[in-house]
Amino acid sequence: METRIDEIADGIYRLSTFVPDIAPPAGFTFNQFLVVGDAPLMFHTGLRKMFGLNRDALARIIAPEQLRWIAYGHFEADECGALNDWLAAAPQATAAQGATGVMVSLNDFADRPPRPLANGEVLDLGGGKRVRFIDTPHTPHGWDAGVLYEESTGTLLCGDLFTQLGKGPALTTGDIVGPAIAGEDVFHYSSLNPDMGATLRSLAELSPRTLALMHGPSFAGDGAAALRALADNYDGRVTSALKEVMSDRVAA
């Protein structure tokens, strides 16, 4: 396996590893994002067993010990499994996540004290880069779920939102909603909940110019339209699931 590096927005690098054995024959990508400011931040740590691969890839952009922040969307092996390996490699780095995630998992899991982020809180990374943490509880999954929005480039670091199969380009202007719907149909990875649509539409209000997918290509274009289309699809899924429950109850 190799990790490919692309700059998908000014100063934001995508480190992408394609794993053909997951969901064959399409395969599956794992992406991390490095936001280069005076205090560089990485979003997602990657799987613990991929740490060496990802560290060597990051080292082609900056020295790993230069990292100051390690953030992620929710507690899961691909999002934060290698966190303590990174904390060891970057002695001045601090793990950061939403207050729920810190309380539930990170206070215990991280080898150094983490930094909780309030909903809407901005970390100023210097060099013009500012990242805002936004709580998205249970969307797509995890009580502690959240995303990061880099304000200067209008880049939404989406985590698992829009997850798709296959090995796409680093950056696309094509459709990412159809492949995300297909990905949901295969994995059923989202925790369908009545707030999903509203959560996705609130992200659309940011009008992101780039959507940085953890599992899929990054998207350059009308991010708000893509988020609203995804919200509509999940509203449909939630509504039909509820209708099924209600009709089962009536039948019982």
| Interface with Fe ion (CB under 5 A) | 76, 78, 160, 214
Question: Which lies closer to Fe ion via its Cβ, residue 76 or residue 150?
Answer: 76
* Shortest Å distance, C-beta 252 to Fe ion: 34
* Shortest Å distance, C-beta 246 to Fe ion: 29
Question: Which lies closer to Fe ion via its Cβ, residue 37 or residue 163?
Answer: 163
* Shortest Å distance, C-beta 247 to Fe ion: 31
Question: Which lies closer to Fe ion via its Cβ, residue 94 or residue 136?
Answer: 136
Q: Taking each helix axis from N to C terminus, what angle separates 177-187 and 223-251, rounded to the nearest 10 degrees?
A: 40
Question: Which lies closer to Fe ion via its Cβ, residue 128 or residue 182?
Answer: 182
Rounded Cα gap, residues 144 and 72, in angstroms: 10
* Shortest Å distance, C-beta 194 to Fe ion: 20
* Shortest Å distance, C-beta 223 to Fe ion: 19
Q: What are phi and psi of 64, to 5 degrees?
A: -55, -35
Question: Which lies closer to Fe ion via its Cβ, residue 37 or residue 155?
Answer: 155
